[in-house]
A and B are shown apart, each in its own frame.
Chain A
Amino acid sequence: MRDFLILFKREVKMQFPRPQKGRTDWFGSLVTLLITLSIAVVFIILVSVIAGNYVTVRIDKVYAPEQRGLELLNLCYIAIIFASTLACLEKMRKTLTEKKDKELLLRLPVKTQTIFMSKLATVVLWIYTFALLLILPVNVIFFIAVKPSGIFWLYTFLTWLLMPMTAFLFATALLIPYIKLIEFLSDKYALILLLFVGGIVGAFLLYSGFLDILKSLVETGAIKFLFNEAFVTTLQSLLVWTYPANSFASIVMGRDLAPSLVIVSVVAVVAVVVMYIVSKRLFYSTLYKNENKKVKGKKKTKYVRTPVLISLVKKEFITVFREPKHLFSYFAIALAMPVMVYCCFMLFDSLISNALGVKADFALAVLVVLVFSILTNTFCASNVSRDGLTALKSKVFPVKASVMLFAKVLFCGIVASIAVIASVVTLGVGASLDAPSVIVCLVCGLAFSFAQVFVATRMDLNHTKPSATPVEIEKMQNRTIAKVVFFGLLIALFMGIIVLIISIITVGELEAYAYIIPLVGSIAYLIIALTYYVRNVEKSFYKLVA
């Protein structure tokens, strides 16, 4: 037991790292907190409004807010179980099957079973924390909306205790196919990119559907086209089959308590047994495996001298393209940008047209392109830090730091340019923008994107610590991303909204300003960003130490 506790404590420390002592980036942390809070507040308000709308739907003219609440809760629990299953799947794969520290642990005078149990217990603790962060806000919103009795919290506690087990059951069932899939995809980068782009586009189309619901809410004051009797009746008939999510919803509502409790308890017991058996087999089978997968590369014997800058850009491309995490957060987002821009544009265009009776295509196009440029270029906030210790090693190269950093900026600039050009062309064709609007929009988008790349790269350079642990690097990157997004959004919204106002209140010669303001603003931002980037850049790079 003592060995287990020591190992478990160590695992917990690794999974839930404490902030490092030292200089704190207060501004970065504050911006991160602000962005997180604003996203959470907007999400809670939206869900509350939609929920408020849904509970008013009557079937056969019967007003039954509690029944509607039950259905909503059921839907939320399906989403929570789905998210927990995905999180659990990845956590189990990483903790149980990856080599990492296992070699070291096996040398210690502790039983292998103890090592396994300490790892499994950490996964369980992690998933319970994850589930708590999802269940609590949902139930708090529900408590405020429906105002059930005090015993509601006891049932909430019971739900939190049992629901992660359901996620474990699903995750365990999917674990082996998932691992096989990950292994199969590990070196098929083009296929991974394709899947990521498909996933992002799919998710964005779903999100657009959600925004459509909001649009209907804004336009009509109710979500009538969706939340009607026929829709709710169909939903009801489907929810009957959503075990065990419907059982959890019933428990929280205090309905059919006994059968629901039996169902979720049986699921939990089965989950514990299956999870233990599958996890143990997986853990032991991967304990001594050679993780160095034999990847056969293509034989090449062509020797060509490439200019240094191009070689550095090529190196950037390889390091990003062959890392699925980067592939997703950069290439996939950039490639999906035209779809996202187009969907957002069409939605807000119809919203403004219907609400105000005016067309503001150009202003909207500028606003949407600028905002999505920020999203696409957040990746550049890891331009230096993602290299880790190799950033330090590259100081040995007989190449100026400004050239090495410019290669990174150029690489990001090429990706950003492709994304912006594709987006503006999509808007030009799809939304029939006129030629001057397309050209101005393109220049603004390109200038703004390059400015974001410059700012993000420089901010990252200022905060990079090459020897930091991956967790520390990620935290630092998140703070830099938050700052880059914050500044970018401020500028984009300021310019976009001014242009939007001018477009809406178009009075004679003012119309020209709709073009001049974003053009001048974007180019000015680019010049400021470039100045910020260039200032002491060599010195800052050579200051990097382990």
Chain B
Amino acid sequence: MLIEIKGLCKKYSPKAKYTISGIDIKGYAGEVIGILGHNGAGKSTMIKCITGMHPYERGRIKIAGHDLATNAIEAKKSFGYVSDEFTLFEKMTGYEFVNFMADIYRVSPSDRKKRIARFQKIFALGDSIFNPISSYSHGMKQKIAFMGALIHNPIVFILDEPMVGLDPHTANEVKNFFVDHSRRGNLVLFSSHNLDVVERVCDRVYIIDQGRILEEIKVKEFTQSGRNLEQYFLSITQRVARV
């Protein structure tokens, strides 16, 4: 198991109610997992807890067998993360940024050379990689964030709303990359409210609403049963809202 989340609870202040509570997620090698939910459902909070960006009150998070609370450094070495906000070091060039990330994750020179060449093919940044990130467009920033997060070939790849701002060609490459990366024995976990993307690439989907996991869906079985994910998602989240 590459990700194991058990009873995760998080609130932003002592008096506030839990933003997410009782989250249980399991992720295995070779899988692409989607976290599906409306805006404000708790997807980003959950991902920020998993990546160690937000402290959490209760629960346990294990990544590649390392407990995030007790062995954070090893847990963090195992994953790559792309956030929904472009929080990049904008004064660096793309090349400097990717190399900086490679230094942080202790990637050998030969590995970084191979991987940068491969990512250059996928993300097609060309010579722009040598320009300052501050001069990049929205989509280019997203691409360089991907490159930085993947430079250490993480066993777990975590993304928060990854498709926002990507052109159709790159979005397609990214979707293929997710599948390819998972087939190499890795795990891809991403949050989204884009049902088409989730339906196309995910093996399993967790539907989250009001900070709780409502349902776990095996996408292949679900679609083979002739049901429509969009309608199901809307009906289940509306039902919870009424309750």
Contact = CB atoms under 8 A, between A and B. Distances in A.
A397 B91 CA distance: 19
A534 B129 CA distance: 38
Contact of A295 (B96, B99, B112, B132): B132
B131 A297 contact: yes
A154 to B, nearest CB: 51
Given A300-B130, A393-B87, A305 B55 contact: no
A318 B74 contact: no
A390 B91 CA distance: 12
B95 A398 contact: no
Contacts of A393: 53, 83, 87
B113 interface: yes
B104 A392 contact: no
A400 B71 CA distance: 11
A193 to B, nearest CB: 14
Interface in A293-318: 293-300, 303-308, 311-312, 314-315, 318
Contact of B109 (A305, A322, A400): A305
Given A295-B135, A322-B91, A396 B12 contact: no
A319 interface: yes
B145 to A, nearest CB: 10
Contact of A398 (B76, B88, B132): B76
B180 interface: no
A395 interface: yes
A267 B157 CA distance: 65
Interface string B85-112: 1011101110110011011111111101
Contacts of B127: 299
A34 interface: no
Interface string A462-499: 00000000000000000000000000000000000000
Nearest to A545: B54
A393 B100 CA distance: 14
A190 to B, nearest CB: 15
Given A295-B135, A297-B95, A399-B104, A390 B55 contact: no
A449 to B, nearest CB: 25
Contacts of B93: 297
B131 A296 contact: yes
Contacts of A388: 87
A543 B55 CA distance: 7
Q: Which of A293, A397, A545 has the most CB of B within 10 A?
A: A397
A141 to B, nearest CB: 44
Nearest to B54: A545
Contacts of A399: 73, 104
B136 interface: yes
B104 A308 contact: yes
A292 B103 CA distance: 28
A323 interface: yes
Contact of B95 (A296, A300, A305): A300
A305 B99 CA distance: 8
Q: Output the residue of A292, A297, A312 with the most chain B CB within 10 A.
A: A297
B64 to A, nearest CB: 12
Contact of A306 (B52, B77, B103, B132): B103
Contacts of B100: 311, 314-315
A68 B132 CA distance: 56
B190 to A, nearest CB: 15
A319 B73 contact: no
B131 A395 contact: no
A319 B104 CA distance: 17
A389 interface: yes
Given A297-B131, A300-B130, A393-B53, A305 B108 contact: yes
B89 A319 contact: yes
A164 B77 CA distance: 58
B137 interface: yes
B81 interface: yes
A296 B127 CA distance: 9
Contacts of B89: 315, 318-319, 390
B55 A398 contact: no
B91 A542 contact: no
Interface in A357-404: 388-390, 392-393, 395-400
B130 A397 contact: no
B83 A398 contact: no
A115 B179 CA distance: 48
Contact of A305 (B12, B53, B96, B103): B103
B103 A308 contact: yes
Contacts of A307: 103
A398 B74 contact: yes
B210 interface: no
The residue among A305, A311, A392, A398 with the most chain B CB atoms within 10 A of its own CB is: A398
A303 B108 CA distance: 9
A159 to B, nearest CB: 43
Interface string A386-426: 00111011011111100000000000000000000000000
B12 to A, nearest CB: 7
A314 B136 CA distance: 21
B109 A298 contact: no
A307 B54 CA distance: 27
A304 to B, nearest CB: 6
B109 A311 contact: no
Contacts of B112: 303, 305
A396 B110 CA distance: 24
Contacts of B99: 303
A400 B181 CA distance: 28
Given A397-B104, A398-B76, A389 B87 contact: yes
Contact of B88 (A299, A314, A390): A390
A322 B132 contact: yes
Nearest to B108: A305
Interface string A68-82: 000000000000000
A306 B105 CA distance: 11
B53 A396 contact: yes
Nearest to A296: B131
Contacts of A323: 91
User: Can you list the 5 inter-chain pairs with the closest CB atoms, starting with the nearest?
Assistant: A311-B103, A297-B130, A398-B76, A322-B91, A303-B109
Interface of A: 187, 292-300, 303-308, 311-312, 314-315, 318-319, 321-323, 388-390, 392-393, 395-400, 542-543, 545
Given A297-B132, A542-B55, A545-B12, 9 more contacts: A292-B137, A295-B131, A296-B131, A297-B93, A303-B116, A305-B106, A318-B92, A400-B73, A545-B54
5 contacts: A300-B130, A305-B106, A314-B100, A389-B87, A398-B105
